[in-house]
Amino acid sequence: DAGVIQSPRHEVTEMGQEVTLRCKPISGHNSLFWYRQTMMRGLELLIYFNNNVPIDDSGMPEDRFSAKMPNASFSTLKIQPSEPRDSAVYFCASSPQPQETQYFGPGTRLLVL
Amino acid sequence: EDKVVQSPLSLVVHEGDTVTLNCSYEVTNFRSLLWYKQEKKAPTFLFMLTSSGIEKKSGRLSSILDKKELSSILNITATQTGDSAIYLCAVKQGFMGSSGDKLTFGTGTRLAVRP
């Protein structure tokens, strides 16, 4: 199994640009999670989906952030417009069932200049 | 507000030492507590604890949950330089009427093991 796949692995962009992060969960996993990790705030859950449906988006920082899961094998996290304070590592994780262990992707390191 | 607190924030030990990492929590709808190890990449899963007082072991690592004290400890014996990492504690919460669980992470304990 390839594990959770995220792309791009690194992204550098200028303030005001749109950024799209992509995630492919492990095949057969029904739950997908987006996290952000910074030195100041540690690891934070942004949003999670179950069976492609958003269950809890209370961690999404503001309206500039949006996430979609159009099918069971693909999810996106979009930031528009991006700001320097969005610079962080964004992780995607998936789990087979809601109550089971989450497996993390390698992360996308985002730098907004 | 849900809260997961880890201590110490950082720790430096020598190879062969034993370390104990702490995690305390205040959350609603507690389901389980998880420990992760994070080196330079994504977190990797170590343990999931659901029942109080039952120790889980994996090699030199062990962990136990105390639901009365709302806390957990992670022990590492005979530490090695390869144990150097950030150790993250996370609490899984379940929500009525939803089929998804939520994870709340602590800020982690940064462990450095010197040769």
- pLDDT tens digits along B35-90: 999 887 788 889 889 889 989 999 999 999 999 999 999 999 999 999 999 999 99
What residues of chain A lie within 8 A of the CB of B86, using their CB? none
- Strands B101-105 and A74-79, by their bridges, are unpaired
Residue A69: pLDDT above 50? yes
Q: Distance (Å, rounded) from C-alpha A37 to C-alpha A4?
A: 17
CB pair distance less than 8 Å for A51 and B99: yes
* pLDDT (0 to 100) of residue B104: 84
- Strands B30-38 and B19-26, by their bridges, are unpaired
Give the nearest partner residue to A104 out of B31, B43, B99, using CB atoms: B43
Interface test with A, best of B99, B104, B107, B110 (most A CBs within 10 A): B99
* pLDDT (0 to 100) of residue B101: 63
Chain B closest CA to A34's CA: distance in Å? Answer: 11
* pLDDT (0 to 100) of residue A1: 59
Q: What is the DSSP letter of B57?
A: E
Cis bond upstream, residue A70 (ω within 30): no
Residue corresponding to tokens 């950024």: A19
What residues of chain B lie within 8 A of the CB of A55, using their CB? 95, 98-100
User: And the tokens for A60?
Assistant: 């999404």
Residue B4: pLDDT above 60? yes
Residue B99: pLDDT above 70? no
* pLDDT (0 to 100) of residue A91: 95
Q: Given pLDDT bands bounded at 50, 70 and 90, which one contains residue A4?
A: very high
- What ranges make up the beta strands (E) of chain B? 3-7, 10-14, 19-26, 30-38, 44-49, 56-58, 61-66, 71-76, 85-94, 101-105, 109-114
Closest CA to B90 of B7, B44, B23, B11: B23
CB pair distance less than 8 Å for A98 and B105: no
User: And the tokens for A21?
Assistant: 């992060």
Q: Which residue has the higher pLDDT, B7 or A57?
A: B7
CB pair distance less than 8 Å for A42 and B45: no
Q: Given pLDDT bands bounded at 50, 70 and 90, which one contains residue A67?
A: very high
CB pair distance less than 8 Å for B101 and A51: no
CB pair distance less than 8 Å for B108 and A49: no
What confidence tens digit (pLDDT) does each residue in B15-24 have? 999 999 999 9
* Average pLDDT value for residue range A18-24: 98
Residue B98: pLDDT above 60? no
CB pair distance less than 8 Å for A55 and B94: no
* pLDDT (0 to 100) of residue B17: 97
User: And the tokens for B57?
Assistant: 């072991």
Give the nearest partner residue to A43 out of B48, B88, B98, using CB atoms: B88
* Average pLDDT value for residue range A91-105: 83
Residue B103: pLDDT above 90? no
Q: If you measure CA to CA, which chain A residue comes closest to B97? A: A55
